Structure formats: C-alpha cells, structure tokens
C-alpha cells in the first residue's frame, strides 16, 4: 500500500482549487491527472527579464520590466489597437498596445498619471516604441521584481502560463516532508537540495542541481524497482534443465552458427541449468539470427522433458516463427503448435489439450498463449520476441504461468544504447549478438527527393522484371491514424493501377485474416510489392524482397529506419534502400538520413539517435514514448543513470532489500514514481 504521506499528492487534479471538469481536460491532455503530475510538470524554460530604470537602458526585442506612467488612453478608429501612451522617468514615450477587446482591462490597470511597472517585450513600431499585451503590470517595484524570472510551461489549449504557474504553486503546497532516499555521499558530492527544495527550486529558475536531483530520483526509482525484480527472481524456485543434446543433435541447419550465436546459446544453457529462473535479454540487430538461438533454447527445455513457449507481438510474426521453427524442427520429431487469438472452437480445444497433456512440446503464439484458460503440463521456458513491445508488468505476468517459475528469454532487435539497456532491462542479464551471419551484403542506401517518385515507380517495374520483390512503406504520422491509413490506401491504389495485381496492402486496421492473407501472398512470392504502414517494422523475413522504399523518411527516427531497412538484405542478393525525403527537411532530418547512408551498424545508429535527439534539450523536455522516463531527459539519463544504478545495487545488496532506514525512504520513492511493482514483488515473494 502507498504510504499515507503520499496520498495528498495522488489526489485527482479536480480536487485542486479552481480545477473543475472543464479545466481537468487540458490538464489530462498533458498527462496531468493527479497533483503529483502537476508538481512534476517542470518548466521547459524560463523568461529572464531585464529590469530597466528607463527605456534608455533597454534594447529592442528584449524582455524587460520598466516603470512607466500612462499619459493618455487612445482608442483607434475601426479595428485598430487600443493604445496607452506612457512615459518613462527620462521622458521617453512608449505605447502599451492592446488588440481586440482589451481596452477595459487596460484602462483599469493603467490609469493616467499613476506609475506602473510593466513587464513585456519591447518592440519598435515605425518610429514608436511599444509593448504589446504586457505579461504583467504591477503597481510597485517589488511586485514587479517577483516577475524577473518566470517559468514557461508546456501547455495545452485552454491553459495559460499564469494559470499553470498558480496550479503548480498550489500543488507544491501539498509536499510532505519525506526522509532522504539518496545515498548521503552522492548528495554531498553533487551538492543537491532535498527533494522538497528541489521541486520548489526546479519551478523557480534554471537550476541544474535541482533538476538533476529530480531526474536522479526517477532514475533511482527505476533502477531500484528493476533490481528488486531481479532479486525476487533469484529467490524464486525454477526448474534446472539438465540435457544431453539428443534433440539438438538431430537438427540439420543449413548454415554453421556464428560465434556470437554459439556464445549466446552457451550463456543460455548455463542459465537454464540453474535452479533460479533465467532472466536474460538477447539483443541482436535485425537479421543477426535470433530465431535459431531461440530454437536451441526451446529444444533444451524439450530435451529436459518440459515445454517451451514463444510469444510474438503480432499474429504475422507468430505465424512466421511457427513456420520457421516447424521446418527446422522437422528432423527432431518435436511437436509444435501455433495458438493465436483467432483460433476458436475445436482447433483451439485440441491445442489446449495438447498443452495440458504434454503432447505439444512447443507453442508459438500471441499473448493468447498466456490466457487463463491455457494450462501447461510443464512449462519451463518462455521466449519473448521483440521484447520492447511488452512492458515490465507483462513480463512479470508471464513468469507466473508455470508451477515453478519458467525461465525467460527476452529478445529484442531494437539496438538501444547501453545506457538505455540498463534503464529498460536493468533486471536482466544480457547476451549480445554483435556479429551478423557471413555473406551479408551491405544494403545500398540512397536518399532521393520526392520529385523523383515517377522514376522510382519505373525502377520498380524493372526490379520486378528481374524476379525480385519490394516493400513500400508509407509514413505513420500518428497525429491521426485514419489519415495515415488513407494515405497508404491511396498510395496502394495508385501503385496497383500502375503495376497490376501484384501489389498487396497491410496496415494496422485490417482484419487479422486479411493481413495474414496479404502477408502470405507476399511471403510466397505471389505478390511482388508490399505496401505498408510501419506494421512491417518487426521481424518479417522475406529474403527475395531486396528493395525497400520509405516515403517521407525524415519523419522516422533512426532506430525505426534501421529496423525497416533490415527487412531487406536478408538473402544473398544485393539490396537497395531508397529513402524518399519530403520537401521541408530540418537540420536533424538531414543528419539522420546522412547517417543512414553512412552506416548499417544498429548499435551505432542507436547511439547517434540518442545524440541527435538529446542535443538541444538542456532543460528536461519530456520524451516521447521511447524513453521510460518523464522527468529525466536523455542527457541526464546518460550522465546519471550509471550512478543511480550503482546506488540501487548498494541498497538492495548491502541492505538486503528495503528494511534499512534508507530502504524505507526508498520505498516511498518507488511509490512516488509508481514503480511499486518492485515493492509488490518483495511482498508476494
């Protein structure tokens, strides 16, 4: 249960003064549904105003505060602005200008003959100095001085800066006194303020120590939770799998394993022999050959007389894995089944029976394989493909399925940088497939402008005439999925008209069987071109497809482009990737595409992606879905995560959990950042 002292922070924003259902909406849009979220809604930046005694001290274009005395109210004819002509102490004249219906407020706030301190941006309009819609007007200098530095918050429609600032101030009034959870030596070395002080300071002005401390808290919470999962997992009873390799010996793989594959398999075999359950991540670039590693792991389970399951994020992938594994397993006599949400009735019943009585050794499927109705005779290993599609919560759920906790092998083709690996998978051991199978040719990557689309289509025809296949990826802008799909459909229709019936379309809103049918036609070679939104991003393997066309490539992140490009270059034939760029290319967009041309090393691209996006973010601009953090920005993650990781380790290993005084403080931290699944796990044991 959440510590009582945090309850006020987890109250809904609607319980705040001045927040009703109407105000709640834009707040929720920003992800602020509880007071906790509001206090962690840190400013993007701050306006720094220059305090000028007279306009002689001021520069055009700067933010300033200056004392001015109104001398005349001037309404203009028609739709012109309302002007308050004012004079500074040196006799300079300045217009305080209002557009729209603001004259009433203006007259009230700026009465003629009374000195006021005006905050705003100084502009020049013809020969005249002016301040348009001042940000603040104070009737004494100390009131004005309070506005010298002002936070600028990310807003949503229906919110204003003053409104947001007032809510934050209100929220900060709810801060409880908490014990310190950061290691004293770290606090001292970094010179950080307390949690409470850091929050207050973080909203007040640019303050590196405060922002770092807040980021560190989030990183520490995350590391600690993952560490607790790890410790709890070690304490669980697993099933040691002793094997003699009699099934693996029967495999007739068409290729020798790479060194990296052999090493990974050995690491997995070592883990599986232990009585504590394996928790291992297999990280390997697209095409590195993770499937065969999974196959060997699954066979170890079967050799030991147990069962294995492989979970894929989509039906398409589940089906493909099933086909691949089934073929490779043929010489072994091992029984494998496919189970997805689409299996109904008798077929499903018979698979469920087979899993229960053990006549099925290996099952491949979507999350359907972990539904309550599915019982295993003896599930010893769970392989999760494309791990990044599943959260830690789901990861934990899966491991509850067996009588004893099954071993878990997670696989990901998203080559994330080392620091982020730690952040996302800190609870796991890692095997890296850092060597591609031999004979892979570099993919010839070219950037071309959208004006050349007709040439591209003509090239497609030649490509098909040579018996090759191709992918055509339309961008997902994600602001409006329907529009994206409409764009893909339009492109599909156009290409089909030109190229005939050899074109298929796949996108996220198609029914599962339509999608499968299209994929199957493409995989079999009946269709020459697959037009798709990014649903083909993961895993799909058609070696004969040697051309990848990506429209508006600048809209994709590097990691995503790399994933997409990895769909080609899978066979022995030479492959090409055409990155079609839009008209308006930002500097970063340009750099991204250049990098794609330059390298094919996924881990390097991941590091560069981090650098490109981490660049201009000095203050903690919130990250999109690809980071598990809201407070810590990418730069802070890189700098502070290793420290947080060590700190968390110390706490768990030295203090054996959360029972020490600092441990109980850390427990509060876990709840504050909602990593309390770490705590639950300790409890549930």
- Chain positions contacting ligand ADP, by CB under 6 A: 255, 257-258, 261, 284, 286-292, 413, 437, 541, 570
Binding of residue 620 to Mg ion (CB under 5 A): no
What is d(CA 348, CA 342) in angstroms, rounded to the nearest whole number? 9
Minimum CB separation of residue 291 from Mg ion in Å reads 5
Helix (H) or strand (E) holding 432: strand 429-433
Going from the C-alpha of 399 to that of each of 233, 236, 381, the distances in angstroms are 9, 11, 9
Contacts of 98 (CB under 8 A, 6+ apart): 81, 82, 83, 84, 105, 106, 132, 133
What is d(CA 194, CA 214) in angstroms, rounded to the nearest whole number? 9
Contact 178, 46 (CB under 8 A): no
Contact 568, 546 (CB under 8 A): yes
Minimum CB separation of residue 32 from Mg ion in Å reads 38
What is d(CA 564, CA 575) in angstroms, rounded to the nearest whole number? 13
Minimum CB separation of residue 445 from Mg ion in Å reads 21
Contact 513, 344 (CB under 8 A): no
From Mg ion, ligand ADP, none, interface partner of 287 (C-beta below 5 to 8 A by class):
ligand ADP
- From residue 523 to residue 552, the character string flagging contacts with Mg ion as x (rule: CB under 5 A) and all else as - is ----------------x-------------
Binding of residue 589 to Mg ion (CB under 5 A): no
**Cβ-based neighbour number of residue 511 at 10 Å:** 9
Q: Which two tokens mark 428?
A: 């796991």
| Nearer to ligand ADP (CB atom), residue 202 or residue 602 | 602
Minimum CB separation of residue 508 from Mg ion in Å reads 20
From ligand ADP, Mg ion, none, interface partner of 437 (C-beta below 5 to 8 A by class):
ligand ADP
Minimum CB separation of residue 286 from ligand ADP in Å reads 5
| Nearer to ligand ADP (CB atom), residue 180 or residue 435 | 435
Contact 563, 540 (CB under 8 A): no
Conformation bin of residue 329: beta by default, left when phi > 0, alpha when psi is -120 to 50: alpha
Conformation bin of residue 597: beta by default, left when phi > 0, alpha when psi is -120 to 50: alpha
Nearest CA-CA partner of 135 in 126, 510, 146:
146
| Nearer to ligand ADP (CB atom), residue 233 or residue 563 | 563
Q: Which two tokens mark 35?
A: 């007071």
From ligand ADP, Mg ion, none, interface partner of 557 (C-beta below 5 to 8 A by class):
none
Minimum CB separation of residue 185 from ligand ADP in Å reads 42
Minimum CB separation of residue 59 from ligand ADP in Å reads 58
From ligand ADP, Mg ion, none, interface partner of 319 (C-beta below 5 to 8 A by class):
none
From Mg ion, ligand ADP, none, interface partner of 125 (C-beta below 5 to 8 A by class):
none
| Nearer to ligand ADP (CB atom), residue 229 or residue 443 | 443
From ligand ADP, Mg ion, none, interface partner of 258 (C-beta below 5 to 8 A by class):
ligand ADP
Minimum CB separation of residue 413 from Mg ion in Å reads 6
| Nearer to ligand ADP (CB atom), residue 224 or residue 532 | 532
What is d(CA 489, CA 483) in angstroms, rounded to the nearest whole number? 10
Minimum CB separation of residue 411 from Mg ion in Å reads 7
Long-range pairs for 13-20 at CB < 8 Å and ≥24 separation? 13/37, 13/38, 13/167, 16/167, 16/170, 16/171, 17/170, 18/166, 18/167, 18/170, 19/167
Binding to Mg ion (CB under 5 A) within 368-387 occurs at: none
Binding of residue 602 to Mg ion (CB under 5 A): no
Helix (H) or strand (E) holding 109: helix 103-109
Q: Which two tokens mark 193?
A: 């303020």
Residue nearest to ligand ADP (CB): 289
Contacts of 174 (CB under 8 A, 6+ apart): 8, 9, 11, 35, 39
| Residue 92 DSSP class | -
Binding of residue 365 to Mg ion (CB under 5 A): no
| Nearer to ligand ADP (CB atom), residue 162 or residue 543 | 543
From Mg ion, ligand ADP, none, interface partner of 96 (C-beta below 5 to 8 A by class):
none
Minimum CB separation of residue 441 from ligand ADP in Å reads 13
Minimum CB separation of residue 411 from ligand ADP in Å reads 7
| Nearer to ligand ADP (CB atom), residue 280 or residue 570 | 570
| Nearer to ligand ADP (CB atom), residue 97 or residue 291 | 291
| Nearer to ligand ADP (CB atom), residue 118 or residue 286 | 286
Place of tokens 């764009």: 487
| Nearer to ligand ADP (CB atom), residue 290 or residue 613 | 290
From ligand ADP, Mg ion, none, interface partner of 292 (C-beta below 5 to 8 A by class):
ligand ADP
| Nearer to ligand ADP (CB atom), residue 202 or residue 566 | 566
From ligand ADP, Mg ion, none, interface partner of 448 (C-beta below 5 to 8 A by class):
none
Burial bucket for residue 585 (CB in 10 Å: 0-12, 13-18, 19+): middle
The residues of the shown chain that bind Mg ion, judged by CB under 5 A, are: 539
């Amino acid at each position: 249960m959440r510590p009582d002292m945090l309850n006020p922070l987890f109250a809904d924003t609607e319980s705040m003064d001045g927040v009703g259902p109407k105000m709640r909406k834009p707040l929720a849009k920003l992800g602020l549904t509880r007071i906790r979220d509001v206090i962690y809604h840190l400013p993007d930046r701050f306006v720094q105003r220059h305090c000028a005694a007279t306009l002689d001290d001021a520069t055009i274009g700067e933010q300033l505060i200056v004392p001015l005395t109104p001398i005349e109210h001037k309404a203009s004819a028609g739709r012109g602005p309302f002007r308050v002509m004012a004079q500074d102490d040196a006799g300079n004249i300045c217009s305080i200008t209002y557009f729209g219906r603001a004259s009433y407020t203006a007259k009230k706030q700026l009465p003629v003959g009374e000195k006021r301190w005006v905050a705003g941006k100084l502009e020049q309009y013809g020969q005249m100095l002016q301040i348009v819609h001042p940000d603040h007007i104070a009737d004494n200098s100390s009131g004005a001085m309070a506005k010298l530095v002002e936070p600028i918050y990310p807003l949503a429609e229906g919110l204003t800066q003053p409104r947001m600032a007032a809510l934050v101030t209100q929220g900060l009034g709810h801060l409880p006194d908490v014990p310190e959870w950061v290691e004293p030596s770290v606090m001292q070395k970094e010179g950080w303020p307390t949690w409470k002080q850091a929050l207050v300071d973080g909203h007040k002005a640019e303050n590196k120590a405060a922002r770092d401390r807040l980021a560190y808290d989030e990183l520490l919470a995350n590391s600690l939770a993952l560490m607790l999962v790890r410790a709890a997992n070690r304490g669980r009873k697993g099933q040691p799998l002793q094997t003699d390799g009699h099934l693996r010996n029967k495999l007739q793989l068409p290729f020798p394993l790479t060194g990296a594959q052999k090493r990974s398999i050995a690491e997995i075999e070592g883990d599986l022999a232990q009585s504590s359950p394996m928790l291992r991540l297999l990280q390997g670039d697209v095409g590195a050959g993770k499937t065969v590693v999974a196959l060997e792991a699954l066979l170890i389970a079967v050799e030991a007389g147990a069962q294995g399951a492989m979970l894929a994020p989509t039906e398409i992938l589940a089906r493909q894995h099933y086909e691949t594994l089934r073929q490779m397993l043929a010489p072994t006599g091992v029984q494998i089944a496919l189970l997805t949400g689409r299996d109904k009735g008798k077929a499903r019943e018979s698979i469920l029976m087979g899993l229960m009585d053990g006549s099925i050794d290996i099952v491949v499927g979507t999350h359907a394989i972990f539904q309550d109705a599915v019982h295993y005779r003896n599930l010893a290993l769970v392989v999760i493909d494309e791990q990044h599609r599943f959260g830690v919560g789901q990861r934990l759920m899966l491991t509850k399925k067996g009588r004893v906790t099954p071993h878990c092998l997670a696989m990901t083709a998203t080559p994330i940088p080392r620091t982020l690996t730690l952040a996302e998978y800190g609870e796991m051991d890692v095997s890296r497939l850092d060597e591609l199978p031999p004979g892979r040719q570099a993919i010839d990557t070219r950037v071309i402008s959208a004006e050349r689309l007709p040439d591209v289509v003509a090239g497609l025809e030649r490509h098909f005439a040579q018996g090759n296949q191709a992918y055509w990826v339309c961008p997902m802008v994600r602001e409006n999925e329907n529009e994206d799909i409409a764009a893909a459909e339009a492109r599909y229709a156009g290409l089909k008209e030109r190229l005939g019936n050899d074109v298929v379309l796949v996108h996220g809103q198609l029914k599962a069987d339509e999608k499968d049918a299209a994929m199957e036609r493409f995989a079999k070679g009946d269709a020459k071109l697959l037009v798709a939104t990014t649903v083909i991003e993961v895993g799909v393997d058609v070696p004969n497809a040697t051309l990848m066309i990506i429209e508006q490539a600048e809209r994709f992140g590097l990691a995503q482009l790399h994933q997409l490009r990895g769909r080609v270059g899978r066979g022995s034939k030479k492959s090409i990737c055409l990155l079609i760029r839009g008209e308006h290319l930002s500097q970063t967009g340009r750099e991204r595409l250049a990098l794609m041309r330059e390298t094919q090393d996924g881990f390097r691209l991941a590091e560069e992606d981090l650098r490109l996006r981490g660049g201009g973010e000095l203050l903690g601009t919130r990250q999109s879905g690809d980071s598990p953090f809201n407070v810590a920005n990418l730069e802070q993650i890189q700098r502070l995560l290793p420290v947080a990781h060590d700190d968390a380790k110390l706490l768990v290993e030295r203090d054996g959990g959360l029972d020490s005084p600092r441990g109980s403080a850390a427990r509060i931290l876990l709840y504050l950042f909602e990593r309390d699944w770490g705590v639950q796990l300790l409890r549930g044991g």
